[in-house]
Structure 1
Amino acid sequence: MNNLNYKKAIELLHKASSVEGFLASAQDISNYKRVWARDGVICGLAALASGENELIDTFRKTLETLADNQHYNGTIPSNVMTNGDEVEVSYGGLAGRVDAVTWFIIGICQYAYYKKDSSFVQQNEENIQKCLQLLEAWEFNNKGLLYVPLSGNWADEYITDGYVLYDQLLRIWALKSYNHFANKESIKVKIEKITEQIEINFTPNSEGEKYHERAYKEINIQNYMPCSFSPAGYKIQFDAFANSLALFLNIGTVDFQNAILEYSIELKNERPLQLLPAFWPPIEESDIDWNLLKNNCKYEFRNYPNEFHNGGSWSMVNGFYGLALLSKEKRQEASEVLEAIDTVNAVEDYSFYENFNSKTRVPNGVPFCAWSAAATVMLYQSINTNFKFLV
């Protein structure tokens, strides 16, 4: 293990720290020089893993910035930018960001758990309750699963919409984290209901009434949970982030979780970067979803095959995959993922790029991405110090 990779990652997290919290990138790019909910919380989780007080203080500032700018209806900002006395708040671009709400709850509770300070949860109780009520409303049909708009989460230029697996799993993690402090039977029951609906609708040979029986029968789920479904049917790409969360949260039968592990390890080993692509396989111009993908961008199209969300490889996503492997006692495989993350983070003298082309290995997106550094820190500490998050 090369400690230089860890030191460089910590240095970047310090450079991306501001008085308002973690910025998405240390690079002076306006859209990334903001406190983002998901980026900030993921960097905050790395801060907790690092044990460095200065970074942990930045995490607290991140959470306070998000809480202070919560919309009256409960929405957590996608991002916040401050410039002197001016504050610019965004709750999403082409659509709102559902995962900002769940990451915020996770962040508050993980911070409080690490600090052994339940009063921090109590201080933010009103904010959390607004979030929980909003999540209930976003079910729409009150059957347990969130309904997420196109462009409604971190994969904001991809094709997932409707009942998106990633968002259901983040909600479970958020509820579990919160219920560590609240200890409410109603929340325990809610977690069980959401888990049951995920297993009924996203795993093979499941019993129980499906949301979309005909579409479920058509797709023949085998080796992993599909990324989303809607009234129009299922999107069947492998979502590395979501399936990592499923393993991390222990969702699905043991046999099916083993199938996910086998599929993901084989896929990782087949790729030139030895990393999992964010979504797989890539959508090509000849595919039915190409027009949906092509039009889902506000500025410039970036989702060429094997790039960005469309099959690109992200250090951040693979950091969570490494945590999932560790949770299943796959320590050697997790160490291999960390080595691969460190290799891509070190490209161009430690430029910590946002993502890479999974075929050509060429870097894409913004350099000095804070959550690329966070992946190294979270996984390194989890492997070498047995650091564990609240699950």
Structure 2
Amino acid sequence: VQVGFHRQAITQFLAENAPALEIQPESHQTPLKISYFWEKATAEEIHDLHQALLTAQLPCRVIYSHDVYLDIVPDRAGLGPAVKFLVDELVLAPNQVYIAADSNHAADLYRYGFQGIVVANATPQFKEAMQLRAYFSEKEGAQGLLEGLEHHKFFTRPGKAHQWDLAHEGFERAISSLRRNITPLGFSAASLTDNPLTDEESNYFAVWSRDGIKTGLWSLPLNDTDVTECFRRTLLLLAEHQSPQGQIPANVQIATAVPDYGGIGDIASIDSVLWFVIGSCRYAAHTGDRDFLTHIYPHLKLAMQWLRAHDSNNCGLIEIPESSDWMDLFPRSYNVLYDEVLWYQACCDYAVVSAVLAQKEEADSYDRLQERVRYKILRQFWPTTDKQVNGHFAETQFTIGNAQYLLAQISPFGFSWRCDVYANLLAGLMGLLDPPKMERVFQFLWGVGANSPYPVKCLYPPIQSGASDWKDYIVTNLLNLPEHYHNGGIWPFIGGLWVRFLAQHGRTELAHQQLNALAESCRLGIFEEWEFNEWLHGQTGRPMGKAHQAWSAASDISAYQAVHHDNITADFAPLSAEM
């Protein structure tokens, strides 16, 4: 906490530059707090004082309360960070923490999505600052606290034993939410009747390749006739609109059946094709529908040719244009971990179905390729300090030393050291990581709190304005601000993969615990409970995305089944020729 806090220098600076401040008695001072009297200071004056300290290279926090008390504390100190640390250590969800205050000295407590209470005798400045962050009691002091606790149902909340029921209720409600996305053409990305969609969001009235296929894969173990048939329609619709070159559309409009092959900026959706191959192979394997496989195989062959053409240097990995996968407004390109992991899985699955259909040459070719892709991913994306006998100058990622996770992207010109949480979880579930690497990934994600306040953030750390990889287009529609959307937002569908990663890695008790946290994140809603929102804010945990997002519901279903039934094989278990 004390790192960078220069108490004597701050005291001297304020004595010389802020004579209006009156130092409080020695009994009110501590080594990590400098306290002053400053009557009726305005918000602008407080801001200017803080900026002056920062300009003088004296990092700190400035806390002003009750129109008279000014405290200067270390930049990393405060009630908020302290309580957040304790919450993370105890593995509590934000809705399990109740806070109450009456002045700005505790304002930072209200940043983390806790159950907030503001008592009636709070200062006007504090009430104004809190706005929608808390319940405003009509009573003062302790009575106001009790009123707030009553509002938050503290005295009637079910006990710990009920948490198992919460996960089960989430499972049942996820099935209901999933059904809202069944359309005559296939799965919609989000419920078309539960979201106030604008013209700019008209592409939500579509069957999306990546959304629909993941939704189908994660709901296959339900063995629900309506859901399985909707998955089949999704795959056949996408195959019907495959381009002559082999590209699968990003989406197909439900009203007009018009395909769209690009998104914002008309950039190709590479992962739509990857998921199409994986989803088609695994639908056929799970259902045993040989007629479907025979019909879809020519489309798979053409799709794999289209994908393989993206390996322009014949290294085995495919080159990805910028922002051309599910992170469609995000700066990553060339060899992107997420896409390479899917490419590996597509090669494995396609080799198996080719063997099933007696396409031996095709099967052997892609079986050899998947081994090469696997080797390249582990060698290129997991740097070590070991000497590489065949290394070359462009492999700058090895300057990072021993990695704790697979890097987000690499190119001949550099690499991204950020952790793509989603891609690392996929790599673990798809069998690319051995147990020691699984453990290192777990320890890293657990250590940085990627699952806090809810499971799980998609990226760590988020890109901040001014960082070398920040791009102006990140703020388009204000979607990718730090802790938002693809820039470190929480995605329940990835949370489901996190639960399954824990279960597969043998951390069963923690998997149950995190399944409850996932259910709680799905229970939250913008307008009502159990909205299964698209994404949540990465720090506060409040829902900000579309309601009844199909893949959020489907991933919760697969996570529940993985923890309680241990029979989830549709999406990640290796396929065999005996399918």
TMscore range, shorter length: over 0.9
Matched, 1:361 2:541: yes
The answer (yes or no) to whether the contact 1:200–1:209 under 8 Å persists in 2 is: no
Distance 1:208 1:334, change over 3 A: farther
Match of 2:516 among 339, 342, 363: 339
Distance 1:269 1:215, change over 3 A: closer
What residue in structure 1 maps to residue 502 of structure 2? 325
What residue in structure 1 maps to residue 473 of structure 2? 295
Match of 1:192 among 371, 396, 400: 371
Where structure 2 has 5 or more consecutive residues not aligned to the other structure, the ranges are 1-163, 356-362, 575-579
Q: Report deviation, 1:210.
A: 4.6
The answer (yes or no) to whether the contact 1:353–1:367 under 8 Å persists in 2 is: yes
What residue in structure 1 maps to residue 446 of structure 2? 265
Q: Distance in 1 between matches of 2:260 and 2:508?
A: 39
Q: Distance in 1 between matches of 2:174 and 2:435?
A: 35
Matched residue SS, 1:350? coil
Q: Distance in 2 between matches of 1:284 and 1:104?
A: 34
What residue in structure 1 maps to residue 171 of structure 2? 6
Q: Report deviation, 1:327.
A: 2.4
What residue in structure 1 maps to residue 566 of structure 2? 386
CA-to-aligned-CA distance 1:346-372 (integer Å, 9 cap, x gap)? 113111111111211122221221111
> 1:235-274 counterparts in 2 under 5 A?
235-268=416-449, 271-273=452-454
Distance 1:55 1:296, change over 3 A: same
> 1:145-160 counterparts in 2 under 5 A?
145-160=317-332
What residue in structure 2 maps to residue 90 of structure 1? 260
Supply the AA of the counterpart residue of 1:247: G
Matched, 1:276 2:456: yes
Q: Report deviation, 1:315.
A: 0.5
What residue in structure 1 maps to residue 58 of structure 2? none
Q: Report deviation, 1:307.
A: 1.0
Q: Report deviation, 1:173.
A: 1.4
Q: Distance in 2 between matches of 1:257 and 1:47?
A: 25
Matched, 1:115 2:296: no
Distance 1:351 1:113, change over 3 A: same
Matched residue SS, 2:205? coil
CA-to-aligned-CA distance 1:362-383 (integer Å, 9 cap, x gap)? 2222122111111111111122
CA-to-aligned-CA distance 1:173-206 (integer Å, 9 cap, x gap)? 1222223322322221111000011111011326
The answer (yes or no) to whether the contact 1:24–1:36 under 8 Å persists in 2 is: yes
The answer (yes or no) to whether the contact 1:80–1:87 under 8 Å persists in 2 is: yes
What residue in structure 2 maps to residue 41 of structure 1? 213
Q: Distance in 1 between matches of 2:511 and 2:367?
A: 31
Matched, 1:182 2:354: yes
Q: Report deviation, 1:208.
A: 5.5
Matched, 1:163 2:335: yes
Tell me: higher relative CO, structure 1 or 2? Use CA pairs within 8 A at least 6 residues apart. Answer: 1
The answer (yes or no) to whether the contact 1:27–1:367 under 8 Å persists in 2 is: no
Distance 1:259 1:96, change over 3 A: same
The answer (yes or no) to whether the contact 2:383–2:402 under 8 Å persists in 1 is: yes
What residue in structure 1 maps to residue 486 of structure 2? 309
Matched residue SS, 1:386? coil
> 1:135-154 counterparts in 2 under 5 A?
135-154=307-326
Supply the AA of the counterpart residue of 2:299: N
Q: Distance in 2 between matches of 1:69 and 1:210?
A: 42
The answer (yes or no) to whether the contact 1:145–1:194 under 8 Å persists in 2 is: yes
Supply the AA of the counterpart residue of 1:34: A
Distance 1:210 1:125, change over 3 A: farther
TM-score, normalised with respect to structure 2 = 0.64
Task: Using the aligned pairs only, state the percent identity.
Answer: 28
Supply the AA of the counterpart residue of 2:381: F
Distance 1:279 1:325, change over 3 A: same
The answer (yes or no) to whether the contact 1:210–1:216 under 8 Å persists in 2 is: no
Supply the AA of the counterpart residue of 1:128: L
Supply the AA of the counterpart residue of 2:277: I
Matched residue SS, 2:236? helix
Q: Distance in 2 between matches of 1:208 and 1:246?
A: 25
Q: Distance in 1 between matches of 2:433 and 2:170?
A: 35
Q: Report deviation, 1:138.
A: 0.5
Supply the AA of the counterpart residue of 2:365: S
| Cα RMSD (Å) | 1.8
Supply the AA of the counterpart residue of 2:497: F
Distance 1:385 1:211, change over 3 A: farther
The answer (yes or no) to whether the contact 2:274–2:342 under 8 Å persists in 1 is: yes
Supply the AA of the counterpart residue of 1:229: I
Distance 1:176 1:212, change over 3 A: farther
Q: Distance in 1 between matches of 2:169 and 2:217?
A: 20
TM-score, normalised with respect to structure 1 = 0.93
Supply the AA of the counterpart residue of 2:421: A
The answer (yes or no) to whether the contact 1:74–1:134 under 8 Å persists in 2 is: yes
Match of 1:374 among 554, 566, 570: 554
Distance 1:332 1:174, change over 3 A: farther
Q: Distance in 1 between matches of 2:339 and 2:538?
A: 24
Distance 1:262 1:76, change over 3 A: same
Match of 1:78 among 250, 266, 274: 250
Distance 1:346 1:130, change over 3 A: same
The answer (yes or no) to whether the contact 1:70–1:76 under 8 Å persists in 2 is: yes
> Rg: which structure is higher?
2
Matched residue SS, 1:307? coil
Match of 1:173 among 341, 345, 348: 345
What residue in structure 1 maps to residue 275 of structure 2? 103
CA-to-aligned-CA distance 1:138-196 (integer Å, 9 cap, x gap)? 01111111110111111111222110001111111122222332232222111100001
Q: Distance in 2 between matches of 1:167 and 1:181?
A: 21
CA-to-aligned-CA distance 1:236-271 (integer Å, 9 cap, x gap)? 111111101111122245432321121123334772
